[in-house]
Structure 1
Amino acid sequence: MDFELNDDQKMIRDMVRAFAEEKIRPGVARRDAEGAFIADLLPGLAELGLLGMVVPESLGGSGLDTVAYAVAIEELARVCASTAVTVSVTNSVCQEPILRFGTPAQRERFLPPLAKGERLGGFCLTEPGAGTDAGGIRTRAVRDGDAYVLNGAKAWITNTHVGRTFVVVAVTDPSKGARGTSAFVVEAPAPGLVFLPEEKKMGLKASITSGVAFEDCRVPAENLLGEEGMGLKIALQTLDASRIGIAAQAVGIGQGAFEEAVRYSKERQTFGKPLCEHQAIQFMLAESATALDAARLLTYRAAALKDASSPSLGLASSMAKLYASEAAKQVCDAAVQVHGAYGYSREYAVERFYRDVRVTTIYEGTSEAQRMVIAKALLR
């Protein structure tokens, strides 16, 4: 059992870290304050192949293994969680299902522009009345000749307004319940496809999130992903894999906050000595470092199991996502505490990390949903 990254994975780590430090960090505070999307970073991300990590080279992607992908997302989130989620979503919940369930013609058509960074992608599953309960979606897709007509609303969709390719799950046969859903590739702009105003979020302010409305939106029948009735299966299997990216994002956010706390504890003087010489602070840092290491190992294990096509991927990715997100939340809280009152100021990066990390226990499956998945697997 080897716990070390291989040479290729280390190269990816070093490359992404250098890019994050040199290109992302200088503008991260400004983008957060202004709520400015990371548009200026996309060419550089595309040049490094980070917008098509999961796609093979034959289709214009980087063809990275999942561990390398997790490492890259972690390094981006260590500096800017908004950049990490933008990259993660276009890779994991848009390109991944097209690669896995698409026909050869669909893969050839949709994946190269995404993998090369010529366009961004997203995933339309959540609705105003259906989040964790994915089987409760109400968006309809009705066959009409050589097309499906979509009507309904989606909520909390990442990369709207800037994205061009979306995997959308809709109901094709209401009589079959959850088994009557199907998945489609929908391209924007399109008549009847409406991006609603951007959400005013607590964190991740440099990423774009909004609702989506479908108003008699015609989608070519050839854009059906898989077969009719496979929508929920595609969604759940996609989430089994994509949770690795959110776990990696959480680890990266926690790592960024932890490094800020360590740095500040060495600089700040109290009672005639640096903060880091007080045992109370040392214990907080020790617990944070241990939690981050455990979260990272769970995340890398889940990534390795995905590469091995392990049947236990769903369990492992839920464990990684649950633990990493909850651990990172605690690490960020401790980092703010180490900073004292300054941690409550937007002049210090830990304030941003604290806001950004909160959503990791919510999106792509809440912590409560992960516990349900884990328990179900254990009691099977």
Structure 2
Amino acid sequence: MTQPDSQATSGRTDPAGALAALARPGEAPLAEALLELIARLDLPCAVKDPASGQYLYANARMAALFGSTPEAMVGTADARWLEASQWPALRTAENAALAMPRGALTEHKLELGGARREFGVARVALRGGDGAPVALCSLWLDQTAQRQTEAKLQLALTQLEQQQQAAEAMRRETQDQSLRDSVTGLYQKVHFEDQLRREVDLSSREHREFSLVSIELDPLSAEAQAMGPAARTRILEALGRLLRGNTRAMDASCRLDDSRFAVLLSGVGLATAHSRMEGLRRQCATQIVVLEGRNLGFTVSMGVASFPHTAHTQDGLVGAAELALAEARKRGGNHVTLASIRFELE
């Protein structure tokens, strides 16, 4: 690049010509091609004098941001177009970009045309043979719509978090504390074992089938782990809601320990149990769980067994469901596995 001459810095009627004056011989076609690409992308683009901060070039998209024309902007600085509270931040960012060999990417919030706009601005210096900057190029990306969408999403997540917290508080107030786990709202292990014994007795007498599902919470994401116990509690609350919502009055859901659960599906065969638990697995994988404005994801692994097809005793049924769960974990988690059906000769 060469040092801009007086015609380049003062020529208000031909901003493109002012930009061409910065190019070395043979570089003009490349400069024109780059400008054409920027125009196709409809991005604001400008070139400034690094010493004065005055515009050497501004495309039509850039001039439109300031309610001006490319010709009118050449030879002026941002102080001409922006309030005193706004333009110094742009100049500071420009000086920082001039000091960096590869330029800089910064974000700016500006009041333009009575509206608040947000931009990501990439700046890079054009340097002469001695390495000194002779021009500063900038490319602007309007991020206003994206930021507004992100703000709306954040607001929606915050509202959802508040609703979840209110629902959990109401649930804790109304549930039977002696029978249910306080975090998930599910039956405690002792009560569940009583339910399982009664279901085995009933099914043995009436010769009907029921299913048992062993469930384990898969390892949490790194982000959820970094947020500590509060994130785990929020995920357990969500899993409890899903388990309660996917079981009937005659079924029973239980929390066995910190990350293990069990579901008893009364009068339900193996195929139907698998279908219902597969639906539950998908719900878990797509559930929105919010803490401090962040969406925490989680998945579960499940093993499904049935009485009497996969086992003829209570202990055998529990063991079959555990083996199926172990197989689901071997497959990488977020999976539902069926226990093997036993075939015995009379």
Of structures 1 and 2, the one with the larger relative CO (CA 8 A, separation 6+) is 1
Q: How does the TM-score come out when normalised to structure 1?
A: 0.21
Please identify which structure carries the higher helix content. 1
Please identify which structure carries the higher strand content. 2
Q: How does the TM-score come out when normalised to structure 2?
A: 0.23
Q: Which one has a bigger Cα radius of gyration?
A: 2
